[in-house]
Amino acid sequence: MAESEPTVATPDAVPVAAAPASTTAPPDPRAGWTDDQKRAFWKTHSYFEAIPDTIGPMRQLLREYSHVPDAEMDAHLFAVRDKLWAVHKYPCIGRFAFCDLNMTKSPHYQAAVRRLRASSDERLLDLGCCVGQVLRQLMHGDGVPASQLSGSDLHKAFIDLGFEVFRDGPPEASELTFIAGDLLSDDDKSCDVLEKSATLVHAANLFHLFSWDEQVKLGKRMIGFLREDALCGGESDSDDDRLTFLGTHLGARVAGEHRIMPASPRMRYLHNTESFQRLWDEIGAATGTRWRIAHDQTREGMGEALTGNTNIQYVQYGVWRAV
Ligand SMILES: C[S@@+](CC[C@H](N)C(=O)[O-])C[C@H]1O[C@@H](n2cnc3c(N)ncnc32)[C@H](O)[C@@H]1O
């Protein structure tokens, strides 16, 4: 389905669509690489030998919520990373991105927390939740009751391993709701139980796995997960109240089809602000809804550092019901 062991394909990483007329993509520095160079890059950028020093908030969560002693922390993280990696080789697993809780600094995340804490009627669904780190952060770090939180992922094994990561099993005793299922499959009905359940949907590092058409399908699915009142809204015109979807992902200065890692088998659509609005316009037109987006670079330099391509940026996004 998504990023996996490298199958070297050519041509490499050339944005091919949706470039705004005024901008052209810088040449991809990886374009002339040999297959061996691509493989070497994939290995060094997708499976880190060291734990990044940016995971302080996750260490704090594991220390305070899961009672993992500092002396055991790194061994614990390496061990669970390798179990997750054995399930599926997403670069976000190999490079410990599932331990990155820096999205808590996003104003959209903070708005979601305000809403969830202000009313027990609010419900957040985390799509592509992986081990459920965001849900544990919301629950323990941000004081949101578990009954207001649910998550879904393609890989049930990621959800199950989340209980090993956070030492809060057994799963059947958890107050958090997790559903495993394929969001893009017409045949997989597992996630149907989540329909009309949420007032906020978090989706981090998920859009960038997919093509434009798959993202339209994902967006339509996300709208289907909204409760009627979240979809129609009340009279409020406050940004906090209208925020509906939020997350982070890889974007691009010049939007288009990109190969995220040089040896990725698939091209995915990476957005800039204009293309992400256009995506939500298309999702809106297909569902009779209207959306306004924000799509801003965050953590400058991170997108380039992760991918070796100066065109790629790390982005935080929010999507609001349009007034
Ligand atoms: C790149 S990881 C991001 C995980 C987490 N949201 C984060 O930011 O650390 C993408 C996640 O999406 C899940 N995923 C991929 N394709 C999916 C699909 N079709 N349906 C549901 N989940 C999917 C993967 O299993 C994985 O956990």
Phi, psi of 127 (to 5 degrees): -90, 140
Looking at domain 104-321, what is its CATH homologous superfamily?
Answer: Vaccinia Virus protein VP39 (3.40.50.150)
How confident is the model over 271-318, as pLDDT tens digits? 999 999 999 999 999 999 999 999 999 999 888 888 888 899 999 999
CA of 202 to the centre of ligand 1 (A): 12
Closest Cα to atom 12 of ligand 1: 128
DSSP 8-state symbol, 137: I
At residue 220, the 3 state secondary structure works out as helix
Ligand 1 pocket, Cβ-based, cut-off 6 angstroms: 1-2, 90, 92, 97-98, 128-130, 153-155, 158, 182-184, 204-206, 209
CA of 289 to the centre of ligand 1 (A): 25
For residue 91, the ligand 1 atom closest to its alpha carbon is 1
> CA of 194: how far to CAs of 37, 83, 291, 293, in Å?
43, 28, 21, 24
Length of the chain: 323
How confident is the model over 175-234, as pLDDT tens digits? 999 999 999 999 999 999 999 999 999 999 999 999 999 999 999 999 999 999 998 866
CA of 128 to the centre of ligand 1 (A): 4
**Planar angle of CA 287, 293, 295, nearest 5 degrees:** 135
Question: How far is Cα 225 from Cα 199, in angstroms, rounded to an integer?
Answer: 8
Q: Which of 154, 155, 218 to mutate to test the pocket of ligand 1 (most atoms within 8 A of CB)?
A: 154
pLDDT recorded at residue 235: 65
CA of 87 to the centre of ligand 1 (A): 12
CA of 210 to the centre of ligand 1 (A): 11
Q: Which two tokens stand for residue 90?
A: 């997403």
pLDDT recorded at residue 266: 82
pTM: predicted TM-score of the whole model, two decimal places: 0.90
Residue 14 pLDDT greater than 60, yes or no: no
Closest Cα to atom 8 of ligand 1: 204
How confident is the model over 58-107, as pLDDT tens digits? 999 999 999 999 999 999 999 999 999 999 988 889 999 999 999 999 99
- Residue 265: pLDDT band with limits 50, 70, 90: confident
CA of 144 to the centre of ligand 1 (A): 23
